[in-house]
Structure 1
């Protein structure tokens, strides 16, 4: 049933995160099965998480102020050195405002009006606004985020995933991703997300030296207390935000079902169960090109890649989907502890009230979107064949 084992043993924080994720996932499923409505919640745990995050950022601000003060006062040169050190430390801990990717094809409204019109229609259904930019890459995944200090919205779509979905499943995918903008997922917000990143950086700075000599052992001992404090804060923030993150995933699934139908949302989960097969097929295409075995002269090796991928996915028997569903139930949170297990998410969809798709498409719209994506499809196909996934 499950011949492959996880690559590595998770650490203490990850093991605790998985246990909590399992408990939260099962509890949320029970709530949905009992007829309760999933919705974002602002509770004491969320407030406590924000307060802790603000305290973490307060330390960074204090380091910045201290750096400026020491540099200005000087203290005969010693203050300059200490100020520069504190300044560098504060810089590594600063909040990040991500920018647009510079190595992926980007689409704006003028480039793809039909695609953005579909995104806007789905966004209205899930109760949010559309995005400002769409990025296309080689991943078998999709995500949303913000970029820049003004918080503009970016939707990233992996062409390999887009190509193996039906038009209605693509609508459900958009509903899921856009739903994250309105579902209370605080873990990836600027305040808590950056606080988690700062704490992780602190932990990296004071991690114990393995196989230490006498001096290094003393330093490890000195940092034992602050290291325990930082580890405790990380675990506490995990504990306070994990339930909201789990709820956000279930809510995003419900948004997918509302936009594209329950059947389409459930079909996406089935696709993710066999995503490793798509990865293997695409990597095989890249390997074949690199060893020079395609030997064709009438066309480029990347041509027809997406059609071959679609045919490969259609050839996967139902028995493999069933095996993967059982493996997902056995492994639980062994892949990604911030997401509920796939089998629980699938059950959560099935116990909900069946609703028709709020957004549909037709051949004319699909044709216009395909035309707008034609150049990114060619570029991403070339990258996959030349460099493999992630290239």
Structure 2
């Protein structure tokens, strides 16, 4: 790739001669012709034949998924074409999930059967089978270990806001709110009793306006009532089990030990088996993602529309545009962590002062990002079809669809007193989250 010519801020575009005005902290590019939109494109050339083949396979999958993504968007952008809720792909995904649960059931029943035979030689085999059944059991969700759970007594105003949003959508209220350092929010059910847990990532919360926060909350509560098939216990627990096996089977280094040839052969065989498990589960996870891609994206768009109905189209659109700023959050976190490492042995602000100033620094940095850089990141999202994660539609398409709908006014608003009360309630969690960031 040819390196773009150096251009000073407030200069002229070398491609179309349009005037350039940019913050030197960020990429200098041209909004008129998109010159230098993505200066990193083409810098990671794949040289070896296996890597080229792997890249071609990934590119083929991206094209296939991209066609599905664009078709879902076109269907939803045309109100006269109601989308299917449960199609053949949905039933296929449920069948694959069922096969995962059947494996667990087979190991459980078979192992118990071996134990009841009374044959002592079968006890070790049964124990191994029960162990496999245990690690492949359905995962029912858990709290984030880096999170700070808040009770209703600790954050009554935050819970009141969440309850109002849930009531507006007809969704069950949150039984627990957990605050984490992350750049995102989630609405999940955990445990056998399927408790509703709302997770608020402070990195996102801090850079949103009060109206945008309501929109983000409404989007998450919308998942409780938008018919998302990926949220069903049958499917979700199967995906969690496969993910656990995939991570457990990830290839590790070959052990170099003086224990002898037998040990080395056993270690090699065990790693070979686990590598097979890793590749099989990765294949199944990709298949499940593809089978639920259309239905999952429709559910996400529906949640966005619910957010617009609760918080207004304008607040929802600006909230979605803020999602492309995740790299800036990482920049602040890395910078602050580096400063902390450098001042650990020297004179530095007190721990509480440092924790409190992290979020202030993040807010100021994000607020200082010029509009031309925000536009670049949104266009880059369109070029790369990037999204929050693989389960979400591309961010730029979410913004487009909200903009294509008739404007909606806010059904729920926050007054300054409520906002201030919520901010006060989040102070302890904000301190804890900052310490997690500093230690990472």
Q: TM-score, normalised by structure 2?
A: 0.76
Report if the CA contact (8 A) 1:18-1:333 is conserved: no
2:113 pairs with 1:62: no
SS in 2 for 1:145: strand
Q: Residues 215-234 of structure 1: CA distance to partner in whole angstroms, max 9, x if unpaired?
A: 99999999999999867654
Q: 1:140 aligns with which of 183, 203, 218?
A: 183
Separation of aligned partners in 1, 2:83 and 2:417: 35
1:99 positional shift: 3.0
The corresponding residue for 1:92 is 135
Distance, in Å, in 1 between the alignment partners of 2:327 and 2:287 is 33
Partner of 2:289: 238
The whole-number CA distance in structure 1 between the counterparts of 2:320 and 2:155 is 27
1:345 aligns with 2:386: no
The answer to whether the Cα contact below 8 Å between 1:262 and 1:354 also exists between their aligned partners in 2 is yes
Match for residue 39 of structure 2?
3
Equivalence for 1:190: 233
Match of 2:307 in 1: 256
Matches within 5 A, 1:192-211: 192-200=235-243
Structure 2: segments with no counterpart, 5+ residues:
1-36, 255-263
Tell me which of 382, 388, 406 is aligned to 1:329.
382
* 1:275-290 correspondence to structure 2 within 5 Å: 275-290=326-341
CA-to-aligned-CA distance 1:243-276 (integer Å, 9 cap, x gap): 1111111111112211111111111222121221
User: Where does residue 361 of structure 2 map in the other structure?
Assistant: 308
Equivalent in the alignment of 1:29: 73
Long gaps (5+) in structure 1:
none
Instruction: Say if 1:25 and 1:344, in contact at 8 Å, map to a contact too.
Output: no
Looking at structure 2, the residues matched to 197 and 299 of structure 1 have their Cα atoms a distance apart, in angstroms, of: 37
Work out the CA distance in 1 between the residues paired with 2:432 and 2:396. Answer: 35
Deviation at 1:238, TM superposition (A): 2.9
The equivalent of 2:420 in structure 1 is 367
* C-alpha separation in 2, matches of 1:170 and 1:216: 51
Q: Is residue 295 of structure 2 the alignment partner of residue 295 of structure 1?
A: no
CA–CA distance in structure 1, aligned partners of residues 185 and 304 of structure 2: 14
Which protein, 1 or 2, shows the higher relative CO under an 8 Å CA cutoff with sep ≥ 6?
1
* Distance of aligned partners of 1:379 and 1:197 in 2 relative to their CA distance in 1, 3 Å threshold: closer
Native 8 Å contact 1:209 1:216 kept in 2: no
Report 1:147-166 matches (<5 A).
147-166=190-209
Q: Aligned in 2, Cα 1:165/1:224: closer, same or farther, shift over 3 Å?
A: closer
For the structure 1 residues 214 and 117, does the alpha-carbon distance in structure 2 shift closer, same or farther, using more than 3 Å as the test?
closer
SS in 1 for 2:238: helix
Q: Residue in 2 aligned with 1:265?
A: 316
Point out the more displaced range, 367-376 or 215-224: 215-224
Query: 1:31-90 CA distances to partner (integer Å, 9 max, x unpaired)?
Result: 232224878823443233223322321221111011111123243x33112111111111
For 2:117, which of 70, 73, 78 is the aligned residue?
73
Structure 1 stretch 95-104 or stretch 268-277: which is displaced more?
Answer: 95-104
Q: Distance in 1 between matches of 2:277 and 2:202?
A: 44
Q: Distance in 2 between matches of 1:2 and 1:367?
A: 40
- Cα separation, 1, equivalents of 2:412 and 2:105: 46
Distance in 2 of aligned mates of 1:289 and 1:229: 42
Q: CA deviation at 1:154?
A: 0.8
Q: CA RMSD in A?
A: 3.6
Partners of 2:308 and 2:392 lie apart in 1 by 17
> Which stretch has the larger CA shift, 322-331 or 304-313?
304-313
CA distance in 1, matches of 2:355, 2:158: 24
- The 1:282–1:102 alpha-carbon spacing in structure 2 relative to 1, beyond 3 Å, is closer
**Does the CA-based 8 Å contact 2:356-2:430 persist in structure 1?**
no
For normalisation by structure 1, the TM-score amounts to: 0.85
CA distance in 1, matches of 2:159, 2:328: 30
Compute the displacement of 1:163 (Å). 1.0
Between the aligned partners of 2:97 and 2:73, the Cα distance in structure 1 is: 29
